[in-house]
Structure 1
Amino acid sequence: MRHTPGPVRRWVLAARARTLPAAIVPVVVGALSVRPTEMNLTRTIGAAVVALALQIGTNYANDYSDGIKGTDENRVGPFRLTASGLVKKNLVRTMAFAWFLVAAIVGLMLAISTTLWLIPIGISAVLAGWFYTGGPKPYGYFGFGELFVMIYFGFVATVGTAFLQNQHVPTRAWWLALMCGSMACALLESNNLRDVTGDIEAGKKTLAARLGRARASWLYVACVLGVAVGAGGALKFGFLFGLLYLVPLHRLVFTNFQGRALLPLLQITSHIQLTIGAGISVVLLVQ
């Protein structure tokens, strides 16, 4: 029987800390992609706040939307607020909107200090966070999750942060965006692979559910290749960072683990994302 978390811990668990590197890593490497003299610490911190607020808000929004649709009833993953019945569903929705509001306020300040063109991009990011599993036809239920993750956790977050520094985007920021987007897609894929059976039963047709366990494992491989290509394009020998994924690749491709047996995959993938983010950041700093 699963232990019931306390009032505070249940909110912390639902924030899905293991997904937060997908928000912070693109901001850090995006800021470091420019020349040291062009870096703006205040704007970088602002971008980090926006990214984290959007990620946490999206996680709460997903908890709410999946919960009211009944998708989370038989999940094998982490604790869910709405599906557990321990928290009122409207409170979960309000918390999601509160985090989106934080992102909107800080994002507006960044737009005013740079360019107002960031406003429609920010609005689209909030809408993408909500409609991933929210609304009558959530795009996450039709296999488009990876596409939007690549766009927002890859190119918008990384290139956007680089642009904030001095309204200029160096070439390597685009390569780093590919790397970050691929890492975020690998994180999403590790989550969806674990939930394939439950998602199919609930009618949630993620890309992993559409492809099936075996073929979706190769999609994870494609994400790893994207990390290697992106890191290699940005830095000499950067492709070697892709070797860190050999452990989860072995677990996926050369075993037949299913459901709960894949629970460690999300944690391993998250740790690799942090490790690569830290490693790339150090290299960018000392260059």
Structure 2
Amino acid sequence: MKQDRYSFGRALRPFSFPVALITCLVGIVSASELPGFSYPLALLIILGALLLQAGVNLINDHADLQHLKNSIARGRVVRNFRLGLSFFLLAAAIGIYLISYTGLGLLVLLLVGLAGALGYTVEPVSFKRRGLAVVLVFWLMGVLMVCGSYYILAGELSWLVFWRSVPVSLISSLLLLANEIRDVESDRDAGIRTLTVRIGIDRARKLYLLLLLSVVAVASVLWIADAITGVWWLVSVPLIWLLYKQQQGSEGRASLPPASGRFFMLFGLLYCLSL
């Protein structure tokens, strides 16, 4: 296993930051026409979400410690884990302020998010090791982020916002799956049983395509049902074929996560314009 897999830059996974940005924006845009909408509060929500995303990314490899023999790699994992916890503390400080503004209902949402983030990789839960990370990310970095952002600004939850969260939540899962597809050989060799390792690369590729198509299908249904008002997101649809082709070869798989992140950013911004 290459030591640079656990370098700070790679562990930070900057290609995944569109997850935090876009999911929060969906909730923020959904609340933007409500009375008393606060732009400074919206910016604080985005900052807290980015810190949370960075923290989740940095602790992601902690479960690998039990399989690692290389002392340098182990040291990097421990360092990244500690940095991840520091990002969580910063996000928690923002969360405390937001709770004082919104109320204790937000505390429940934040505790659920924190428990999910730690359970993502930390034993004895370790959703990643159990092959459940793709499912967890849909709820944790998708639905919860969108609905939580809306709740802070609106003071209530909304079924409309929940359904609006589904397309970007699917791409959150897709982005993690892209990471698993890229790392399938090294994960298998290290005994890390991610979903892709469990079901095999061929089925993971099919699941990747299914998630891409599901994003378009759900967004289309939302538009037909008047849950969203525009179709700007259709501009990003041609990229789906390019992403599918890219994951077929080993060279394409290596750049699949950042390519998926760029798709997320483009689709997400256009989707926000369509709300």
The TM-score normalised by the length of structure 1 is 0.82
Matched letter for residue 25 of structure 1: I
Shift in CA distance, 188/45, structure 1 to aligned 2, threshold 3 Å = same
| Count of residues in correspondence between the two structures | 265
- Tell me, in whole angstroms, the C-alpha distance in 2 between the residues paired with 1:224 and 1:30: 21
| Equivalent in the alignment of 1:7 | none
Cα drift, residue 35 of structure 1: 4.5
Give the structure 2 partner of residue 274 of structure 1.
Answer: 265
Deviation at 1:109, TM superposition (A): 1.4
**Structure 2 partner of 1:20:** 17
Where in structure 2 are the equivalents of 1:1-287 lying within 5 Å?
A: 11-38=8-35, 39-66=37-64, 68-70=65-67, 84=73, 90-232=78-220, 233=222, 234-237=228-231, 240=234, 241-252=236-247, 255=248, 257-258=249-250, 261-284=252-275
Task: Give, in angstroms, the shift of residue 43 of structure 1.
Answer: 2.4
- Which AA in structure 2 matches 1:282? L
Q: Using the alignment, how far apart are the partners of 1:83 and 1:170 within structure 2?
A: 48
CA apart distance, 1:172: 4.1
Q: 1-side partners of 2:61 and 2:212: how far apart?
A: 27
CA contact (8 A) 1:14 1:59 kept: yes
Q: Which moved more, 1:20-29 or 1:236-245?
A: 236-245
Whole-Å Cα distance in 1 between the matches of residues 69 and 53 of structure 2?
Answer: 19
Q: TM-score, normalization: structure 2? A: 0.85
Matched letter for residue 160 of structure 1: G
Q: Work out the CA distance in 2 between the residues paired with 1:160 and 1:137.
A: 24
- Which whole-Å CA distance do the structure 1 matches of 2:150 and 2:231 have between them? 22
- 1:61 and 1:52 mapped to 2: Cα distance? 14
Q: Structure 1 residues 40-49 or 148-157, which shifts more?
A: 40-49
Q: Once the two structures are aligned, what percentage of the paired residues are identical?
A: 22
C-alpha distance in structure 2 between counterparts of 1:265 and 1:222, whole Å: 16
Counterpart AA for 2:29: L
| Distance in structure 2 (CA, Å) of the matches to 1:277 and 1:164 | 20
- The CA RMSD over aligned residues, in Å, is 2.7
Deviation of 1:141 (Å): 0.9
How far apart, in 2, do the equivalents of 1:173 and 1:276 lie?
A: 17
- What code does the residue aligned with 1:21 have? P
CA–CA distance in structure 2, aligned partners of residues 229 and 123 of structure 1: 32
- Sort the Cα spacing of 1:283 and 1:263 in 2 relative to 1 into closer, same or farther, 3 A: same
C-alpha distance in 2 between matches for 1:124 and 1:72: 33
Give the secondary-structure state (helix, strand or coil) at the position aligned to 1:117.
helix
**1:91–1:26 distance in 2 versus 1, CA, 3 Å:** same
Q: Which runs of 5+ in 1 are unaligned?
A: 5-9, 74-81
Which segments of 5 or more consecutive residues in structure 2 lack a partner in the other structure? 223-227
Greater shift, 199-208 or 25-34, is seen at 199-208
Moved more, 47-56 or 226-235: 226-235
More moved, 273-282 vs 154-163:
273-282
Query: Does the Cα contact within 8 Å between 1:114 and 1:164 map onto a contact in 2?
Result: yes
